[in-house]
A = this chain, B = another copy of it.
Amino acid sequence: MSSGKTITDVARLAGVSKSTVSRVLNNNLQYIRPETIEQVRHAIKELNYQPSSVARSLVSKRTLAVGLLISDVGNPYYSEVIRGVEDIALVKDYNIFLCNTSYDHARGLKFIQSLANKQVDGILLMSSSISNEWITELERFHTPVVALDWYPSQPVDGEVGLITVDFETGIRQAVDHLFKLGHRRFAHISGPLHLETSRIRQQIFLSALGGYGISAESVLTLEANLRLDGGRGVLERMALSPVQPTAIFAANDLTAIGFIWAAQQCGLRVPEDISVIGLDDIQLAEEILPPLTTVSMPRNEIGKIAMEMLLEIIENKSPINGVKHNAHIVTSLIIRKSTGVAPVDPGRWDLRRSQIAVN
């Protein structure tokens, strides 16, 4: 572990008491003679001394560590969030325990327990699904929590901060955009409907469409898995539908991109034959062809805000109690090239296998 030297070694070498060393360590220099300070500092250098943060934590009750639960680092959606969190953490001297739940509640619970056990100062819950059981567990330990996009079924106490995402604004913009382009036949590729956020996105999309007189029944909705292959897999099902959409809203960018690739491979042109809108604005979205029109979440900002809120809760823990910590993140439409005017005579799709075989 540490370099082996303790505060006692420093005290001895400097010819002072541990308290004095501790004082200079913590910059309580107000009543110490300058030359004493120098002696201590010199001894510290000499011995290459580093205070043990474990011992410090034992008395301070602070570990300067937080846990970050996400579903899967492999999902590009999370990388910018992580960076946002890390950037704030770094300046505040905090470190981050990264935990991939792998969309598995049990695995998540294991992490929660090991983090609580390690006495992290707080936990950021950013996985796509957040279990009530986790929260219960964390409340037992009075561990401060900030949760992203989670809608508690029962009220939670002051130690839980909530970050909610206003999908409504962005999704409505998407619908407006499509409508202006002349689209009237829509489809939605949702995420797994057992996830609350999947249901919310779908519902907002349908209700926005309702505002234009499009009934929910008339829009084709298909469920996918929020990954590339999910979006890809949906095309065939959609081709079989009696009436085919000219515009598609996907629950996230990966789904949208997977769908676009499948469509292109089958000879459908985007956006000439079909317009596609995603959600997230992952980096890949602007790098594919055509660049994806998408509802953007400011992910880096989400990370930053979440970490700041968590620190806030940690610092004001006992004082403010019952105060609600909340932040609302607004989404907005980024118009790129995957959306265009609706085809005049859509007709049925003429899917031909591309000459490029699938692997």
Contact = CB atoms under 8 A, between A and B. Distances in A.
Interface in A214-260: 228-229, 232, 258
A93 interface: yes
A351 interface: no
A3 B115 CA distance: 13
Contacts of A90: 107, 110
A46 interface: no
B283 A261 contact: no
Nearest to A285: B359
A97 B289 contact: no
Interface in A89-134: 90, 93, 95-100, 107, 110, 114-119, 121
A50 B1 contact: no
Interface residues of A, number: 73
A353 interface: no
A261 B100 CA distance: 31
Interface stretch (A55-63, A172-180, A187-195): A55-63
A141 B50 CA distance: 9
Nearest to A86: B100
Given A83-B100, A357-B337, A74 B115 contact: no
Nearest to A113: B50
A93 to B, nearest CB: 7
B2 A359 contact: no
Interface in A140-167: 140-143
11 contacts: A2-B116, A3-B142, A4-B142, A52-B58, A54-B57, A64-B118, A72-B79, A82-B100, A86-B98, A96-B97, A261-B287
